[in-house]
Structure 1
Amino acid sequence: MTEDTGTTDDVPAADAAGDGSWVSLFSGGKDSSWALYRALEAGLDVSRLVTVHPEGDSYMYHVPATRLASLAAESIGIPLVEVEPDDFGAEDAEESGAQGDAELRPLEAALGELGSELPGGLAGVTAGAVESEYQTSRIEAMADRLDAEVFAPLWQEDPRELADAMLDAGFEITIIRVAAYGLDEPWLGRTLDREAIAELEELHESHGVHILGEGGEFETLVTDGPHMDRPIELEYETEWDGTRGTLRITDARLGE
């Protein structure tokens, strides 16, 4: 992030990192998982994961399969706080900006409560934003109100380099939703490996698909990685309407 925003992909100074606890904004998808992994690598004291469960489509949050975040948290070994959409107020918002602000309120309230409970208070939050000014500006403003830092290691990094770094680290990533021309039903349940990334690069050239799905073209779930003790095993069926689709998870468990 730029210097004037206060958000950075640089590791916070050791003295700042020791002045409280960190919270990871976590969906179980690849981007938030990578932000968490990088924070743990950097030695930040991540004491909680926080998952928001949106109702329907969301301008602010990763939507599909967020209920599986509890399995991921169990594998990672960090307690999870789940935020329900009781007071999003999105149905009353006429503009996307108003909806985004309404969706942020329950998250900010949850983080405020955590700040009063965690040892040393809330030092900062991790975020998995890559290019979305819409999401990032709101997270920054929220962090400012909470007097917290933001650690965003994916921000404005090269998408292909990020994808390669995730695979090099040992992330196993499953595509659980697609919603873009060029991404058809066989992509559902597909592993995001180097072959898939190469195909996404071609789709980027031909159809403008973002390699990391930053525009909502696809959503993912990290089923295993170096920060997880046990993999997530899935059973599912595909739901496809002819232009977009999602995995309907019929069973999920931690493997050995």
Structure 2
Amino acid sequence: MGTDTDADSDRDSARDGAWISLFSGGKDSSWALYRALETGLAVDRLVTVHPTGDSYMYHVPETDLATLAAESIGIDLLDVEPDDFDAADATDSGTQGDDELEPLEAALRDLDAELSETGSGGIAGVTAGAVESEYQTSRIEAMCERLECDLFAPLWQEDPRELADEMLAAGFEILIVQVAAQGLDESWLGRPLDEDALADLEALNEEYGVHVLGEGGEFETLVVDGPHMDRRIDLEYETEWEGTRGRIRVSEARLE
């Protein structure tokens, strides 16, 4: 198994077979997918995990919108519903992360067999949008080792502000859909992640330690438009605020 962050080296060394993109519709997984497509990797399927509650491994809010995003992107989506996992049963965060990965790995094994049977060569590699989380990345790396496939993680250990600037320069339109950190109030819900927001986030990083890309779970996002999408996602929503954290609740979503 190889872990690549450089686009040119990944294109040159890529295995035969299909690439699978771990995809939530958020900015990080969307950027990993976009970079993979720009590199020429043959992304055959998007895979979205729908956690039933708080998750250490996955983006949680509004993952149902990944279906619309996949339609706009033009790549088939595989939904993974880890209904058999209850976070309350986990004895610690490490156990929870390992258990949360099991439904995803099982789904990828089934997909690998399906792709092999149809002559696509099985799974060549997986894309992931991790930036700094050893917790997530080490588990995804280990999963790829077991699946005998490569991992493409183009955001890994890159400068957060530079990554954000690259996303905006490429034409990503990003909305903040959940916040859970000191300094982030209800006014951030539904706010575009643009240059003004990034400047405010850098100030909040200095004051409270808020990660500019929300890598610590400070906020979650949804990409509603980008160069890899044919149609923009239009949303109608309400906000829910619980004193120190909140999220949007989408009432209607459509492709423009």
Q: TM-score range by the shorter chain?
A: over 0.9
With over 3 angstroms needed to count, the CA separation of the structure-2 counterparts of 1:17 and 1:7, relative to structure 1, is closer
Does the alignment pair 1:8 with 2:9? no
Structure 1 unaligned runs (5+)?
Answer: none
Superposed counterparts of 1:218-229, under 5 Å:
218-229=219-230
Flag the 1:89–1:237 CA change in 2: closer, same or farther, 3 A.
Answer: closer
- Contact 1:85–1:106 (CA<8 Å) still a contact in 2? yes
d(CA) in 2 for partners of 1:194, 1:9: 25
Query: Where does 1:15-94 land on structure 2 (aligned, <5 Å)?
Result: 16-17=13-14, 19-94=16-91
**Which of 89, 96, 99 lines up with 1:99 in the alignment?**
96
Who is 2:235 aligned against?
Answer: 234
- For 1:36 and 1:13, how far apart are their aligned partners in 2? 13
Check whether the contact 2:20–2:125 (CA below 8 A) recurs between aligned residues: yes
Answer yes or no: is the 8 Å Cα contact 2:10–2:152 preserved in 1.
Answer: no
Compute the RMSD of aligned alpha carbons. Answer: 1.2
Deviation by residue 1:59-114 (Cα, 9 ceiling, x = unmatched): 10000000000000000000000000122243321111001000000100111111
State the Cα distance separating 1:7 from its structure 2 match: 2.0
Aligned residue identity for 2:201: L
Q: Deviations over 1:26-53 (max 9, x none)?
A: 0000000000000000000000000000
Structure 1: distance between partners of 2:181 and 2:234: 26
1:144 corresponding residue in structure 2: 145
Alignment partner, residue 165 of structure 2: 164
Gaps of 5+ in 2: none
Q: 1:44 is paired with a residue of what secondary structure?
A: coil
Superposition deviation, residue 13 in structure 1: 4.4
Give the Cα–Cα distance (whole angstroms) in 2 for the partners of residues 23 and 89 of structure 1. 26
Change (3 A) 1:13 1:181: closer
Once the two structures are TM-superposed, the CA of residue 14 in structure 1 deviates from its matched residue by 4.1
Give, in whole Å, the separation in 2 of the partners of 1:246 and 1:41.
32
**1:115 aligns to what?**
112
Q: Which amino acid aligns with 1:27?
A: S
Distance 2:3 2:71 in 1: 28
User: Counterpart of 2:187?
Assistant: 186
Show the counterpart of 1:217.
Answer: 218
String of CA shifts for 1:149-188, please: whole Å, max 9, x gaps: 0000000000000000000000000000000010000100
Amino acid at match of 1:192: L
Alpha-carbon contact 1:89-1:102 (below 8 Å) kept: no
Aligned residues of 2:178 and 2:189 also touching (Cα < 8 A): yes
Deviates more, 1:10-19 or 1:82-91: 10-19
Provide the C-alpha distance between the structure 1 equivalents of 2:89 and 2:128, rounded to a whole number of angstroms.
27
% identity of equivalent residues: 73
2:4, 2:10 within 8 Å by CA — same for their partners in 1?
no
The alpha-carbon distance between structure 1 residues 43 and 88, as it changes in their structure 2 partners (threshold 3 A), is same
- CA distance in structure 2 between the partners assigned to 1:89 and 1:218 by the alignment: 23
SS in 1 for 2:204: helix
The CA distance in 2 between the partners of 1:252 and 1:179, in whole Å, is 24
* AA aligned opposite 2:112: G
CA contact under 8 A between 1:20 and 1:121: conserved in structure 2? yes
In 2, Cα distance between the equivalents of 1:92 and 1:100? 12
